[in-house]
Structure 1
Amino acid sequence: MSIKQINNKLLLLLIMLISLSITSYLASRYSVLWSGDADAANSPIVWRAFLDRGFDAFTQWKPTFDNWYFTVYPVNFLFFAIFGDDGLYPLLLSSILFIFLINTTCFYISYKFSGLFASIIAIATLTFTSPDLYSNGYLSHPFSHNSTNAYGFIIFALYLWNIHKKNIIIPIICATLSLTASVSDPWLLASFFLPMILTEISIVIFERKNKRDLFLYVSFFIIAASNIVQYALDLPVHSFKITTFEMMLQNINTAVILTSKILPIFAINEGIAAYFVFFVWFLVVITSAFLCFKAGGKLRYLAIFSVFSIAGIYSSSIIGDQVPHQRFYLNIVPIIVVLCASSVKLRGGKLIILPLVVTLATSLALYINSGPNFKLKSNPVEDYIFFLEKNDLKYGYGSFWGMTMGVNWLSEGNIHITPVYFHHKTGEVNFKDARVQTMKFWHTREFITTNKPSRQFIAISKGNTGDRCKDVDLCVRGVEKQIGKPDETLNYHGIKFLIYNSPINTSL
């Protein structure tokens, strides 16, 4: 290896390290938005149960259909084991790792196709991605689609690398990663798995390639889409439902606005301005894809994969019965960036770099104006824990949403609040049924009577979700009728505590 090659590799490494440093700063500052979130407590709670109960912890845990078992959990559990800590920092490190993998993968692909300048613009654009993705897209949230996104881009890079090779190992890896990631989070089906299959079909058509790899991908896709693994492991499954035509029209408008926020050309992202930004990016993507397709070779299939990945997420978010949200669009920015950057050196592609530079400059301006100046430890759950400890409240019941699971997590097991449902008509507590993202054994006689303090509480908070109280007074009356008047009442930022100096009778 020549001195020039060594220097070039060192430069690439330096660029990636700079990107990692900036990503670490931004992710840590925006972590205040999720550091006490109920979803963030997911793997730490399961980890503790796993250490105590072994694999039975997974039969006791009630996951959502995006269970994260084969994507986020292995990474988080590894960090928990290495650092001997299941608090904020291992989860933050996990989030940074996923963002870094996406950024560097796109950087490397762009470098291979367009050289240093375009790849630097690409990684800079992704490193300083729109702050809207951090604040509303859950980019740095430890349990967001961005973790799945990282697996998707690894699959994307491996797939591109293996084109025109007869290697069977890489297709097996791509198929296996796609299956396990889809079982963990079905979002990957539309964003990467199906686009990979459609790209493979195009290779078979254009190059008369044998259908071995296509058969492999389709077989694994059928397993993933039919939920065979979930049924075998007794995991919840996701059913995609089509919304009404009227709602589709609203979703199109929402998708346009979201695009202008995650790929800003200027600060305004409403009305005509949003449609202008969307139209600009539509033209840029079509032009880049056309240039890459026309160039042939791997660039052709990069374009096909990218277009289907973009189309998969936009179409599913528009026709599906969920309102489009930034968290569903986490593949859009990096896939567009890598598509555009990869086309820069092609004939007619020089101007493609301009939209990337503009969105980079706009995002930088948005960071400067708003400033990610949060303190890493600025966490409302810590104040809540202090309040509970000060009033000797170590065991009780409350709503899942809010800070309940954050307390269970960040109090390091010193305080436990079991999430419960409050009946919307009577206000009474359902002590029997475990909600999703909680442990079933929390609702057993053995758990509630073993080493629990006699001073216990019911925490009632106002909210419109299924397990909170629309009418706090109704729930107070319901609880008093169900288990008696409290010995003491306290209030904390709108949360009403009914405190009993003897164990609560749950009838379990």
Structure 2
Amino acid sequence: MEKVKKSSILPIILIIYGVFVAYRGVFSLWKVDSDIAVFPVMIRYFLTEGWSALKTFHFPIDNWFFSIIIPYGIVFHFFGEQSTLLLVLGAVVFCLTAFFAGLLVFKLSSLNQGLWCGALILAAPQIALGRGGFLLYSVAHNASMLWGLFGVLLCFLSIRKQNIFFLILSGVVFSLSSFSDPWMLPVFVLPIIISSFIMFFLESGRKRLFYTVWFFIGLFVIIFSETHCLGLFPISAIYKKGFTSVNLSWKSIIFTSASVSYYFNFIPLLNFNNFYSILLSEEKRNILLYYIAMVINFFIFFSIVYALIRSIKRKYIFFERENLFVFILFILSILGIFSASVVFKGVNNIRLARYIVNIYYALIICVCLLPWKSMDPSIRKKFYALGFLFLSASILSNKSVWKGPALLSSFDVENEVISFLNNEQIQYAYGDYWGVEAHTITWKSHYEKVVRPLLYTMDYHGFLPTIWTSPNWYHVPSSQKWVFVLTNLGDDRVCPPYPSCREAVLNQFGSPLYIKQKHQVTFFVYAGNKMNLPYDINVENWKKPLSISYDSVLSWKDFYPEIELNGNNLISVDGWEWAKHGVVTTEEYATVHVPVLDRSSTLVRMWVHLSSNKMDQLPVDVLYRGKVVAQWVVPSHESIYYLELPIEPGQNSLDYQFHILNYKAKQKPVNGIRMYRVKVLDHGG
């Protein structure tokens, strides 16, 4: 007993470490965005409007109704809707998922192996906790993993104890959670059906009857999910399922395989937190290095899966056959989600790695279920070595979590919009789901300012309501003003076939009462009866595009006449540039030289394009005439900033500088490359 206690000290320490990293991680890796803020907004709306609101609400396919909306609604009722709580819920879900995984292994094997299972799961790399795997995100498939593992635990107990109550309860859990997120079907339900079918031929007596029952329960869960609770709870889904038609492509194969490195990195000195920014940098040498690392990680992952599959042949290593049932279930879960992602193009982008999050839990559970005492010593040493490499890489990747909250984006669009609405005494506004953070503003203003999301749709040639909205949210009383908010970031920059999204707004909603510009945000102020949106809940009625006649389209220049530069050759930048080959050491300052075209003006307005290939955002001071006139952040993606600079009458040109704060002259070849570029896109005197 003393030996067992000593062997449990290390996993307990790792569990404590993992819980603290999870708590710190939610504040340094995430903020309350529209996908999180919509839940308190939506729950409050449902409680106010009742059943009729549910029937007309625009849910996505993964509606999260029973798995997230109801549990979170209970939490909000007792503890409120504070931002801290909204973020911490992600860490709570992650820790509970690790707990149920460890408890399952404990019930199947031993306490020590259960502790190691929980410890390895909690020791996730930062990219898995953050925007790679979304393990700490409050609203993601990780919540479905929590319900799925809880259901598997009940399923296992129902078979071992031959308990009808556990069987019924587990069936209810799988039915409601699969309806809430159909992702559960290939990850848990189909593996249960196949595993039950296999175990039917390996078992006998009463247990064979239970496997037969579970086979049909699995079929019932699929029908229950696909028919929306047998037709009792029809939901309105705007977008069709992504996993509906075969679409095999090399792109899906590559990205699905590459996504493994977001969860399992066995190369401690290589930090995948910077991988996406490395891709943007177009640095061939570093991209090749990361791709080689991904191939190595995938090869190790595939070798482990292959070893696990081979171990199934040695059935005698499992003390009881229901242990084999769970083992096969998780192997099929790994193979199932990989097959679905590749065949149905589920992961066609490196940022969609969250759709295969089950491989992280399933692989660790299966490895911890192996018979370590009877295992061949040489194989056991290889597993120990891989475990050490995985833990080392994960711990090193989480160093930045302890440095405090992440830097905010280049400007706080939510506060900009709230400030404008307060100053203009306007209550209603509409804007991009992400660029404007519409739901976040509604929640952040304590529902005093109502901002609803609209998304530009190329097929429609206009702005439409998005998911997580109600058609009742798009009616403004004719006596009140409302605002369309347009930023110069993300999706708000491109609205084909219009020259810009500004023309798209003017064409759909007509001439506004007035327009105001503040930093990177444009406010189009309309009266309530001017709105032009399709209110019909039937998505088919949205497919007819708005008519576009460029003879009648209002031009942005009708409101803001601008003097455009003939190309960018008149603008020169000293100090920063794109890297052509290898590692580039940039300078601390960059100077932009801009000609003044209207010499009678006292003000120069311009849009500045600024980007970086570094995932960590860096603060930058904008210097003009020796003074700091603006403070921006160099993001990992491309952003556009608005800048106004005063000039003297008759001035021919002006110079201003960018100064990188916390600049480091010496950069590491792989993780420390910093490249920037400045490009003045538009200029008016």
TM tier relative to shorter chain: 0.7 to 0.9
Relative to 1, partners in 2 of residues 1:115 and 1:381: Cα closer, same or farther, differing over 3 Å?
Answer: farther
Question: Is residue 148–residue 181 contact of structure 1 (8 Å, CA) maintained in 2?
Answer: yes
2:388 aligned residue (343, 348, 357): 357
Q: Deviations over 1:352-376 (max 9, x none)?
A: 34322321111111122x4464528
Tell me which residue corresponds to 1:314: 338
Range moving further from structure 2, 169-178 or 392-401: 392-401
After TM superposition, the score normalised by the length of structure 2 is 0.64
What amino acid sits opposite 2:217 in the alignment?
Answer: Y
Distance 1:421 1:5 in 2: 57
Distance 1:313 1:372 in 2: 33
| Deviation (angstroms), 1:55 | 3.0
Tell me which residue corresponds to 1:220: 220
Alpha-carbon RMSD across the aligned residues, in angstroms, is: 3.6
SS in 2 for 1:163: helix
Tell me which residue corresponds to 2:306: 286
| Deviation (angstroms), 1:150 | 0.7
| Deviation (angstroms), 1:50 | 2.4
Distance 1:315 1:164 in 2: 30
1:384 aligned residue (416, 419, 422): 416
Q: Please show how residues 481-492 of structure 1 align to structure 2 within 5 Å.
A: 482-492=509-519
Tell me which residue corresponds to 2:598: none
Distance 2:9 2:457 in 1: 62
Tell me which residue corresponds to 1:101: 96
Tell me which residue corresponds to 2:59: 63
Range moving further from structure 2, 268-277 or 74-83: 268-277
What amino acid sits opposite 1:313 in the alignment?
Answer: I
Relative to 1, partners in 2 of residues 1:318 and 1:189: Cα closer, same or farther, differing over 3 Å?
Answer: same
| Deviation (angstroms), 1:504 | 5.3
Q: Please show how residues 361-372 of structure 1 align to structure 2 within 5 Å.
A: 361-368=392-399, 370-371=400-401
Relative to 1, partners in 2 of residues 1:15 and 1:251: Cα closer, same or farther, differing over 3 Å?
Answer: closer
Tell me which residue corresponds to 1:175: 171
2:353 aligned residue (326, 343, 361): 326
Tell me which residue corresponds to 2:297: 277
| Deviation (angstroms), 1:23 | 2.0
Distance 1:425 1:220 in 2: 37
Tell me which residue corresponds to 1:458: 484
1:242 aligned residue (220, 241, 245): 245
Distance 1:242 1:65 in 2: 15
Q: Deviations over 1:182-229 (max 9, x none)?
A: 111010001111111222112211013125423542342342354342
What amino acid sits opposite 2:416 in the alignment?
Answer: Y
Relative to 1, partners in 2 of residues 1:265 and 1:18: Cα closer, same or farther, differing over 3 Å?
Answer: closer
Tell me which residue corresponds to 1:414: 448
Question: Is residue 257–residue 298 contact of structure 2 (8 Å, CA) maintained in 1?
Answer: yes
| Deviation (angstroms), 1:65 | 0.9
Tell me which residue corresponds to 1:398: 431
| Deviation (angstroms), 1:41 | 2.3
| Deviation (angstroms), 1:14 | 8.6
Relative to 1, partners in 2 of residues 1:160 and 1:13: Cα closer, same or farther, differing over 3 Å?
Answer: farther
Relative to 1, partners in 2 of residues 1:485 and 1:272: Cα closer, same or farther, differing over 3 Å?
Answer: closer
Larger Cα Rg: Structure 1 or Structure 2? Answer: 2
SS in 2 for 1:419: strand
Distance 2:438 2:529 in 1: 18
Tell me which residue corresponds to 1:335: 362
Relative to 1, partners in 2 of residues 1:293 and 1:111: Cα closer, same or farther, differing over 3 Å?
Answer: farther
SS in 2 for 1:71: helix
Relative to 1, partners in 2 of residues 1:254 and 1:6: Cα closer, same or farther, differing over 3 Å?
Answer: closer
Q: Deviations over 1:325-370 (max 9, x none)?
A: 21111111111111112213342263334322321111111122x4
Distance 2:452 2:529 in 1: 13
Residues paired across the two proteins, number: 490
SS in 2 for 1:436: coil
Question: Is residue 156–residue 326 contact of structure 2 (8 Å, CA) maintained in 1?
Answer: yes
1:206 aligned residue (195, 202, 207): 202
Higher relative contact order (CA 8 A, sep 6+): 1
What amino acid sits opposite 1:383 in the alignment?
Answer: N
Relative to 1, partners in 2 of residues 1:485 and 1:68: Cα closer, same or farther, differing over 3 Å?
Answer: closer
Tell me which residue corresponds to 2:125: 130
| Deviation (angstroms), 1:16 | 5.7
Relative to 1, partners in 2 of residues 1:438 and 1:241: Cα closer, same or farther, differing over 3 Å?
Answer: same
Question: Is residue 460–residue 468 contact of structure 1 (8 Å, CA) maintained in 2?
Answer: no
| Deviation (angstroms), 1:112 | 4.5
1:436 aligned residue (462, 467, 473): 467
Question: Is residue 191–residue 313 contact of structure 1 (8 Å, CA) maintained in 2?
Answer: yes
Tell me which residue corresponds to 2:136: 140
Distance 2:36 2:173 in 1: 24
SS in 1 for 2:89: helix
What amino acid sits opposite 1:318 in the alignment?
Answer: V
| Deviation (angstroms), 1:465 | 5.7
What amino acid sits opposite 1:505 in the alignment?
Answer: K
Distance 1:191 1:465 in 2: 32
SS in 1 for 2:398: helix
1:159 aligned residue (144, 148, 155): 155
Distance 2:418 2:490 in 1: 27
Structure showing the higher strand proportion among its residues:
2
Q: Deviations over 1:49-75 (max 9, x none)?
A: 123223333234211111000100111
| Deviation (angstroms), 1:278 | 1.3
Distance 2:4 2:301 in 1: 36
SS in 2 for 1:469: coil
Mapped pair 1:345 → 2:370: no
Mapped pair 1:496 → 2:526: no
Structure showing the higher helix proportion among its residues:
1
| Deviation (angstroms), 1:473 | 5.8
